[in-house]
Structure 1
Amino acid sequence: MRLRLKSKSGTKTITPYPAAPFLVLLSQIAEIEELNPSGSGLVAIKHGFPPKPIDLKDEKTSTIAAKGIKDGDQLILEFGEGGGSQSVSSATTKPKSSQQSQPENNGVAMQYLSPDSNLFLRNIPDDNSCLFNAIVHAAMVDAHPLELRSVVANHIRGHPETYTEVILGQEPGKYCDWIIKKDSWGGAIELEILAEWFNIRIECLDIELCQFILFGKDQSSAPSYIVLIYSGIHYDYVAENAGGKDITSWPVESTTVLAASKKLGKKLQSQDYATNTTTFRVRCLVCYEVLVGEMGASKHAEKTGHYSFGEVK
């Protein structure tokens, strides 16, 4: 059996015996210092697509194979305080609490909500994964954008009757190969799939029109929604800051934040936050060719395999 171990600090390939006790694998992991330079405890092991945690119980009696680990698998290792816990819930399937610390007000715009709170625009870096990063922050999930890309690709493969070539604009297999690349831009298809995956509603405010587009409207069981801000080429998210804590999701029956988000959108319009995707110019950051509009960028990417773009101001 050949396994690839991956942590934030590095990767390592090992060849354990499938019938060996799971405890043997844990011991091997503990001995590889390059994967855990800080010496923290092992918090979780994830595998599969999307990555899901392996139950760390019964490590003395269960075998490696009995844990569902197969030859060629990649195991994602997470280390940190509290290592050694018996089980870990899947961070890519359920959102965390709707509050997190926000030490800096990095929003470029603010809207009054109440005497105790304001609504802020929270900026996401321009790294071609802004949609996925915005969802990670707003839904407060412990996941990497590449994991969300894998969720999308697997969902498309599992629903060929829905995601046809007509819907995707290209053959589904090619689309899946494209969307898992870190430089590929996500859009409406990805928002709808991830709204279903996380069982949330995503209210996406298009700044050019200053109108909401709702994703996950069929999620009748969804308890909450998040708000993304779309400029035409970039996604950010909004957060309600109260007492130094960010709140990034709200009950579906609450409309106060939606109304405040629209007012925030009007402010952003006046600051030229929106970009017209038909006429805007972008520069390929690989070959430096200047392209016009989303269509021009898409055709260039398909022709050259270049997916990294920056807006020409």
Structure 2
Amino acid sequence: MRLRIRHAEGMATLSDMKEDQTISILKNSIKNAIDLSGAQDIQSIVYNIIDINAFLTDSFELVSGGYPPKPFNDMNATLSNAGLRDGDTLNIKVLDTVAPQQQSNTSTASSGTANTLKEGSVQTANGVLQLRGNLHYVLRRDTTISPELRKVIVDGIKNNSDMYSDTADKFKITIDKYMEWIQKPNSWGGAIELAIFSACFGVEIDSIDVQTGRIDKFGEGSYDERVLIVYSGIHYDALALTPTADSPPDFDQTRFPVSEGSILDAAKQLVDGLRKSHKFTDIANFTLKCEQCNTGLKGEKDAQDHAAATGHTRFTEYA
């Protein structure tokens, strides 16, 4: 089995994996292939498989860009049982361990500045702002309440059916179909959902797009506090302020006064660093392959047109 591995430094290829090998073996093979140091480990392995039925609803500005990533959490599952096939592409996220001396040096940053510690974090006058979990984390400090949040979305749509009916008519999808879709565990939402969460949790949600640097503020002017999230084109990551780079989550601050402009400035700098490292997916121009006929495609429009013309519904991203 031949697998392509996409990571921060580029691409690698595994040419001799077996279908009956486990995800744990795959993880170790990836570590060797990309030559991780002893202070690094693989935080996540994500299989980008596109379900066009979800992809077509991207007209609703879906968070995932139409293909929610499938993370591998069961290290004992075989590659075959995990759904991997020859030629698939995997995205990996590497977790860095910052040495104590590095932390000591960067902690002396002067007040009001933001010096880069490591990718995905910046030093501020009050601590380290860094990527931490997903959207659920900034709302409830819990990453396991996805079903509850999906119900919040459905209730929000039902309570404002007139507003969302207009949107549904525009994009040729019924509200009932959308509410059914958003409750599926692999479905991801976007602007609609963020507006609902802002109202439900009584907080401004500031979403910063890595590719463009654009900031979308949901609930702006209505609340005294804000939470910060970063959109990579595939998913959202939460931002938290921590006393040090390796502080446990118990000390995280995820809500900030809207009057505190310095924290938003630090978030912008963090995102600037991610953009320079190309830590985003350009859904308008990424390259896809139809799994059913091997046709090469570019971007979501090609995928939508191909699906409409052929009825094919499964696509994979490739480099």
Q: Determine the structure 2 residue equivalent to 1:229.
A: 230
Tell me, in whole angstroms, the C-alpha distance in 1 between the residues paired with 2:225 and 2:307: 36
Tell me the CA shift for residue 228 of structure 1: 0.7
Q: Determine the structure 2 residue equivalent to 1:118.
A: 128
Q: Aligned runs of 1:130-145 on 2, under 5 Å? A: 134-142=134-142, 144-145=145-146
Tell me, in whole angstroms, the C-alpha distance in 2 between the residues paired with 1:149 and 1:254: 30
Q: Read off the aligned partner of 2:194 and give its amino acid letter.
A: L
Note if contact 1:211-1:262 (Cα within 8 Å) is conserved in structure 2: no
Note if contact 1:208-1:231 (Cα within 8 Å) is conserved in structure 2: yes
1:176 to 151, 174, 179: 179
Tell me, in whole angstroms, the C-alpha distance in 2 between the residues paired with 1:154 and 1:301: 31
Tell me, in whole angstroms, the C-alpha distance in 1 between the residues paired with 2:287 and 2:160: 35
Moved beyond 4 Å, runs of 4+: 282-291, 295-306
Seen in structure 2, the aligned counterparts of structure 1 residues 119 and 154 have a Cα distance that, compared at 3 Å, is same
Q: Read off the aligned partner of 1:279 and give its amino acid letter.
A: N
Tell me, in whole angstroms, the C-alpha distance in 2 between the residues paired with 1:287 and 1:176: 31
TM-score of the pair, normalised by structure 2: 0.53
Tell me, in whole angstroms, the C-alpha distance in 2 between the residues paired with 1:251 and 1:299: 45
Q: Which runs of 5+ in 2 are unaligned?
A: 1-96, 99-117
Note if contact 1:201-1:215 (Cα within 8 Å) is conserved in structure 2: yes
1:200 to 184, 199, 203: 203
Q: Determine the structure 2 residue equivalent to 1:252.
A: 258
Q: Write 1 or 2 for the structure with the bigger share of helix.
A: 2
Tell me, in whole angstroms, the C-alpha distance in 1 between the residues paired with 2:291 and 2:145: 23
Deviations for 1:211-236, whole angstroms, at most 9, x for unmatched residues? Answer: 21111226x2x231111111122211
TM-score of the pair, normalised by structure 1: 0.54
Tell me the CA shift for residue 251 of structure 1: 1.1
* Structure number, greater radius of gyration: 1
Seen in structure 2, the aligned counterparts of structure 1 residues 162 and 111 have a Cα distance that, compared at 3 Å, is same
Seen in structure 2, the aligned counterparts of structure 1 residues 299 and 193 have a Cα distance that, compared at 3 Å, is farther
The 3-state SS of whatever aligns with 1:139 is helix
Asked if 1:269 corresponds to 2:275, the answer is yes
Tell me the CA shift for residue 296 of structure 1: 5.2
Note if contact 1:225-1:250 (Cα within 8 Å) is conserved in structure 2: yes
Q: Determine the structure 2 residue equivalent to 1:185.
A: 188
| RMSD, aligned CA | 3.1
Seen in structure 2, the aligned counterparts of structure 1 residues 148 and 305 have a Cα distance that, compared at 3 Å, is farther
Q: Read off the aligned partner of 2:277 and give its amino acid letter.
A: Q
Tell me the CA shift for residue 310 of structure 1: 6.2
Aligned residues: 194
Seen in structure 2, the aligned counterparts of structure 1 residues 210 and 173 have a Cα distance that, compared at 3 Å, is same
Seen in structure 2, the aligned counterparts of structure 1 residues 297 and 199 have a Cα distance that, compared at 3 Å, is farther
Seen in structure 2, the aligned counterparts of structure 1 residues 158 and 286 have a Cα distance that, compared at 3 Å, is farther
Seen in structure 2, the aligned counterparts of structure 1 residues 150 and 301 have a Cα distance that, compared at 3 Å, is farther
Q: Percent identity?
A: 30
Asked if 1:152 corresponds to 2:162, the answer is no
The 3-state SS of whatever aligns with 1:205 is strand
Tell me, in whole angstroms, the C-alpha distance in 2 between the residues paired with 1:288 and 1:247: 47
Q: Determine the structure 2 residue equivalent to 1:209.
A: 212
Tell me, in whole angstroms, the C-alpha distance in 2 between the residues paired with 1:299 and 1:236: 30
Name which structure has the greater RCO, CA cutoff 8 Å, separation 6+.
2
Seen in structure 2, the aligned counterparts of structure 1 residues 224 and 173 have a Cα distance that, compared at 3 Å, is same
Seen in structure 2, the aligned counterparts of structure 1 residues 186 and 300 have a Cα distance that, compared at 3 Å, is farther
Note if contact 1:108-1:121 (Cα within 8 Å) is conserved in structure 2: no
Q: Read off the aligned partner of 1:194 and give its amino acid letter.
A: F
Q: Read off the aligned partner of 1:163 and give its amino acid letter.
A: Y
